[in-house]
Amino acid sequence: MRMRKKRHGAERLQNCAEFIAPDREITKADASAPFVNKKGEIHLEIGCGKGAFAVKNAASRPEINFYAMEKVENVIINALEKAMARKDEVKNNLRFICGHAEELEEMFADHSISTIYLNFSDPWPKKGHHRRRLTAPDRLDTYKKLLVPGGKIIQKTDNVELFEYSVEEYRNAGLTVEFATTDLHNSSRAAENITTEYEENFMREGKPICCVIVSTAK
């Protein structure tokens, strides 16, 4: 069922305009263009949902420049409003993009991104739909182009089948698996983990979270 448009959506977007990334021609020429710290690493979350992870990450790491991408306008309004609520903490290092992963090469130059986050992406469980996954081979080819040497992909999911598929595809793509677990919250990375909205719900249910971190060649 199609999501109903939010009331006053255009007005709400305009009220948060300072957190919307500039046109792709600008970010393609210089990914650091909208940020105060021009030398900070560029991190990108693909599928940011309502923005909890992006806002918490940017607030806790002011030295890093964050882009958060979401394809659904209704959802990104919520993310933008979260950023506005913590404006003083994230105004210098967080910007949102309403767009699709297929468009990333139009938005960013090769070797411009240090870390890509894939948090609770759609698992597309039907085998015929696997090519739509954010860890399908075509998507991984794009990420490898955009990442700096030694750049990382950090993925979290509650779907074990997607986790296993992704680990295999990372290896097939020549990426190095640095960390992998099917129980993140009881792992060595639990203390440094920043949660998403979905993740907090799963935690309350006692559901384990899978995580994998991979890197490109240096």
Q: What's the pLDDT tens digit per position in 135-181?
A: 999 999 999 999 999 999 999 999 999 999 999 999 999 999 999 99
Q: Which residues are catalytic?
A: 122
Assign 131 a pLDDT band (cuts: 50, 70, 90). Answer: very high
- In-domain check, residue 2: no
- In-domain check, residue 140: yes
Adjacency order of strands within the sheet including 210-215? 94-98, 65-70, 42-46, 113-119, 147-157, 210-215, 176-181
Residue 134 structural domain: 9-215
- In-domain check, residue 17: yes
How many CB atoms lie under 10 A from the CB of residue 107?
21
Contact 37, 93 (CB under 8 A): yes
pLDDT value at 5 more than 90: no
Please name which of 105, 103, 85, 106 lies closest in space to residue 94, comparing C-alpha atoms.
Answer: 85
Contact 146, 108 (CB under 8 A): yes
Assign 10 a pLDDT band (cuts: 50, 70, 90). Answer: confident
Contact 159, 211 (CB under 8 A): no
pTM of the predicted model over 0.85: yes
CATH classification at residue 60: 3.40.50.150
Tell me how many domains the chain contains: 1
- In-domain check, residue 88: yes
Q: What does DSSP assign to residue 99?
A: S
**Average pLDDT estimate for 101-122:** 97
- In-domain check, residue 1: no
Please name which of 96, 66, 69 lies closest in space to residue 84, comparing C-alpha atoms.
Answer: 96
What tens digit of pLDDT does each residue of 54-89 get? 999 999 999 999 999 999 988 999 999 999 999 999
- In-domain check, residue 72: yes
Residue indicated by tokens 């986790």: 163
- In-domain check, residue 201: yes
- In-domain check, residue 3: no
